[in-house]
């Protein structure tokens, strides 16, 4: 029987899970437990063509994981009969020291806890998820796979903030980059799609989902990325501002009487497309733009402007790019964003084929014009599969 890996992605009130076969890439089952700790919790498992759902209070993350296993049992499946060899955990921040896929023991868990200040919104729920899963599945190796890992090797010129050196060293302040699992996976897929060795390609990868980030990759090695110390820097996102003048923060603190927590929540949860237009779903934003909504139009223009700015920056950093790849919810599905991001760049060697771009095909596909020296691709990301495969490298 093929080996399987259970991949967990723990949020503060949710637990996403997926059971995969790393060698075939097949996903056997996936599901999510939401609103953990609330009265109206819900759990769902999709196994093959069956969907099983359970509603009602799920008190905490341990109950959430046990509920997920109950749903497997309801589907007539037992995890121990499905070839499970490891549990992979998505961890957002690995700090300076943790970047390889790491089998979690008590010492690693302590290290992860110490990283909480670097990613206060993301790391604590991941640590909780690992703790709970180790208790529920003690006989299996638990592997942490870090969103920052791929960008660990960024050149110093790209990873260093031009601030007081001693302060930066003391507090581990650098540009770490995030969505690394996706950027690495998608850049390898792009090379495979083009039938070219990864080492031979310059690439720009645009991961455009609710969170959004771009990267410049030369010969498989990242040379820059848009996210920094935290996943707030860079592109405009669903609810995050991306780049702002740091002066805005002190200005708000001093003049608007906002505390640091208020400012952080505003920049993380009430900014981006939501902050500008009260909406994060691009399908709805397009409808609103068509019906003349000025807020939606401005939000979209700010989004595209920032995206083009980074594409230009990465072209300059790389000298030239062989491929530009779009991935994640917006990148994979929104032909208008792809078109508007790349319109007018023919003189820089990038030209999209309108017809291919609009085609509703799924899966990895080429959308550049025949005469475009740069290949433009759409490649579905699969962070769970990348995490599952990373687990097998260390167990």
Catalytic sites, residue numbers: 147
The site for ligand AMP (CB under 6 A) is made up of: 209-210, 238, 280-283, 328-330, 333-334
Report phi then psi at 73, rounded to 5. -60, -40
- Shortest spacing between CB 326 and ligand AMP, in angstroms: 11
Name the CA dihedral angle for 101, 7, 387, 60, rounded to a multiple of 10 degrees.
Answer: -60
**Residues 209 and 239 sit within 8 Å (Cβ to Cβ):** no
Per-position DSSP letters for 2-14, written without gaps between them: --EEEEEEE-SS-
Q: Is 219 annotated as a binding residue?
A: no
Q: Is 281 annotated as a binding residue?
A: yes
- Shortest spacing between CB 194 and ligand AMP, in angstroms: 23
CA-based max dimension of the chain: 64
Q: Is 208 annotated as a binding residue?
A: yes
Q: Is 332 annotated as a binding residue?
A: yes
Identity of the residue, 88 or 329, whose beta carbon is nearer to ligand AMP in the bound complex: 329
Chain CA centroid to CA 325, Å: 15
Name the CA dihedral angle for 291, 343, 184, 90, rounded to a multiple of 10 degrees.
Answer: -10
Q: How far apart are CA 104 and CA 119, in angstroms?
A: 19
Identity of the residue, 287 or 343, whose beta carbon is nearer to ligand AMP in the bound complex: 287
Q: Is 209 annotated as a binding residue?
A: yes
- Shortest spacing between CB 334 and ligand AMP, in angstroms: 4
Q: Locate all alpha helices (DSSP H) within the chain, ordered by sequence.
A: 61-74, 106-114, 123-136, 156-159, 165-170, 180-194, 247-255, 260-269, 272-277, 282-290, 294-318, 328-333, 335-342, 354-358, 383-392
Query: What 8-state DSSP symbol labels residue 65?
Result: H
Nearest residue to the partner ligand AMP, using Cβ? 329
Identity of the residue, 95 or 211, whose beta carbon is nearer to ligand AMP in the bound complex: 211
Number of C-beta neighbours around residue 199 at 10 A? 10
Per-position DSSP letters for 293-353, written without gaps between them: -HHHHHHHHHHHHHHHHHHHHHHHHHSS-SEEEEEHHHHHH-HHHHHHHHTT-GGGT--B-
- Shortest spacing between CB 210 and ligand AMP, in angstroms: 4
- Shortest spacing between CB 132 and ligand AMP, in angstroms: 24
Q: Is 315 annotated as a binding residue?
A: no
- Shortest spacing between CB 172 and ligand AMP, in angstroms: 27
Q: Is 272 annotated as a binding residue?
A: no
Identity of the residue, 79 or 299, whose beta carbon is nearer to ligand AMP in the bound complex: 299
Q: Which residues are annotated as a binding site for Mg(2+)?
A: 9, 383
Can you say which residues are annotated as belonging to the binding site for substrate? 90
Annotated binding site for ATP, which residues? 16, 207-211, 281-283, 329-333
């Amino acid at each position: 029987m093929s080996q399987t890996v259970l991949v967990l992605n723990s949020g503060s009130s949710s637990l996403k899970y997926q059971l995969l076969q790393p060698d075939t890439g097949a996903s056997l089952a996936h599901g999510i437990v939401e609103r953990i700790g609330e009265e109206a919790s819900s759990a769902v498992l999709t196994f093959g063509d069956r969907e099983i759902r359970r509603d009602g209070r799920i008190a905490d993350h341990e109950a959430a994981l046990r509920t997920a296993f109950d749903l497997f049992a309801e589907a007539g499946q037992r995890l121990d009969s499905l070839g499970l060899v490891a549990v992979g955990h998505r961890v957002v921040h690995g700090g300076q020291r943790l970047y390889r896929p790491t089998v979690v023991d008590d010492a690693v868990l302590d290290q992860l806890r110490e990283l909480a200040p670097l990613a206060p919104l993301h790391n604590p729920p991941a640590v909780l998820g690992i703790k709970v899963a180790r208790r529920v599945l003690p006989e299996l190796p638990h592997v942490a796979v870090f969103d920052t890992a791929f960008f660990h090797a960024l050149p110093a010129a790209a990873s260093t903030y031009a601030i007081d050196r001693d302060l930066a060293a003391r507090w581990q302040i650098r540009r770490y980059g995030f969505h690394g699992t996706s950027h690495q996976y998608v850049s390898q897929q792009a090379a495979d799609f083009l039938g070219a060795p990864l080492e031979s390609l310059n690439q720009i990868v645009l991961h455009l989902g609710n969170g959004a980030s771009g990267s410049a990759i030369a010969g498989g090695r990242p040379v820059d990325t848009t996210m920094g110390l935290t996943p707030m820097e860079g592109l405009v996102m669903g609810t995050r501002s991306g780049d702002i003048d740091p002066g805005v923060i002190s200005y708000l603190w001093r003049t608007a009487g906002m505390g640091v927590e208020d400012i952080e929540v505003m920049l993380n949860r009430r900014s981006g497309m939501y902050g500008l237009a009260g909406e994060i779903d691009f399908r709805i934003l397009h409808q609103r733009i068509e019906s003349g909504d000025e807020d939606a139009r401005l939000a979209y223009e700010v989004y595209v402007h920032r995206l083009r700015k980074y594409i230009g920056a990465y072209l300059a950093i790389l000298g030239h790019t062989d491929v530009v790849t779009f991935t994640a919810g917006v990148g994979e599905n929104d032909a208008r964003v792809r078109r508007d991001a790349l319109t007018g760049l023919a003189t820089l060697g990038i030209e999209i084929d309108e017809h291919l771009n609009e085609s509703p095909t799924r899966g990895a596909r080429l959308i550049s014009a025949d005469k475009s020296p740069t290949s433009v691709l759409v490649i579905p990301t699969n962070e769970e599969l990348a995490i599952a495969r990373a687990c097998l490298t260390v167990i």
